[in-house]
Amino acid sequence: MPKISNAKLGQTNLSLLQHTPIVNPRVCDEDMTILGVDPGGEHVGVAVASRYLYDAAGLAEFCALCASGEHEKQQHRRPNWQTTAPGWRVYEVAELTPWEFVKFFRDNIDAFDIVTCEKFQLYPNKVKEQIGSEMPTSKLIGWLEFSIRMWNEEWTKTGPAVGRAEISYESHMKQIHKGTTAVLRHEGIDFLSPASPDHARSAEIHLWHTLIRNSLVDGVTLR
C-alpha cells in the first residue's frame, strides 16, 4: 500500500487510503491473517494483519540450560520461524466503497483465518435519521456474515475449498474503541492508519481488540 508516514498519522489523507488492499501470502504454516472491518453505507474501513514472523533458519542461540550450567554450553539451532513483538503486524489499511469491499473480500476470502467486524445497532436517538433508509450498513454486514457462513458450512465441506480451514468471525460494538486504544497506547503499539478519516482506524482498533481478547498478543490484556 502507499506508505503513510509518521508525519501524516492523525491527519486527513484520504488518497493514501483509497486503494484495494493486497493480502500477503502465508510465509509458513504458523502464519495467520486477520481482517478488521468497519462497515458503512458509503465508506468501509479495512485493516489487514498477519503474524509478525521472521526467518530464523540457521541462527543459533544458547538455551536456559547453557546459562544455568546444567549441561555443556553449546549453541542450539533456533526454530525456522520466530515472532517479533507484539507478535502481529498490520500492513494494510484502506477505505473502500461497499462494492469495492465486496469484490475485495470475495477475491481474498480464502486468505483470512479471522474476520472481525464492527457490530451495527440502531439506537433510539438515531431512529428518526433512519426513516426511509434501506439500511445499507446492516445489509453489508449481513452479506459478510452470510459469505463466511457459506465458506465454513458449505465450501470447505463439499465445495471448491474442501479441506481448507474455517474462518473465525467476531463482531463487537463501537464502544470498545476507547478502552482498546488506551491499551494499545500503554503497550506502545502504534497505529498504521491515520486518525482521520476514521473508518480505517476503527477497523484497525477492532482488529487489535479481537487479537487481544483471544489472548493472541503475548502479555497484553484488555483492562
Q: Is residue 140 part of a domain?
A: yes
pLDDT in tens, 124-183: 565 556 555 556 889 999 999 999 999 999 888 887 788 888 999 999 999 999 999 999
pLDDT for res 108 = 96
Q: List Cα–Cα distances, 201 to 51, 75, 88, in angstroms.
A: 19, 44, 16
End-to-end CA distance of the chain: 32
Q: Is residue 65 part of a domain?
A: no
Looking at residue 170, which CATH number applies to its domain?
Answer: 3.30.420.10
Residue 67 has a pLDDT of 62
Does 223 reside within a domain?
Answer: no
- Domain assignment present for 70: no
Q: Which tens digit of pLDDT belongs to each residue from 18-59?
A: 999 999 998 888 899 999 999 999 999 999 999 987 665 554
Q: Report pTM.
A: 0.81
Burial class (CB in 10 A: 0-12, 13-18, 19+), 221: exposed
Q: Does the residue 67 lie in any domain? A: no
Whole-number pLDDT of residue 56: 57
pLDDT band at 4 (very low <50, low <70, confident <90, very high): very low
Give residue 9's pLDDT. Answer: 43
Q: What total number of domains does the chain contain?
A: 1
Q: Could you read off the pLDDT of 70-89 as tens digits, one per residue?
A: 666 555 555 565 667 788 99
Q: What is the pLDDT of residue 135?
A: 64
Q: With respect to residue 72, please indicate whether it lies within any of the assigned structural domains.
A: no
The answer to whether residue 165 sits within a structural domain is yes
Range of the domain at 205: 6-55+81-213
Asked whether residue 151 is domain-assigned, the answer is yes
Q: How far is CA 32 from CA 1, 53, 107, 135, 178, in A?
A: 19, 10, 17, 33, 26
Give the pLDDT confidence of 88-103 residue by residue, as tens digits: 999 999 999 999 999 9
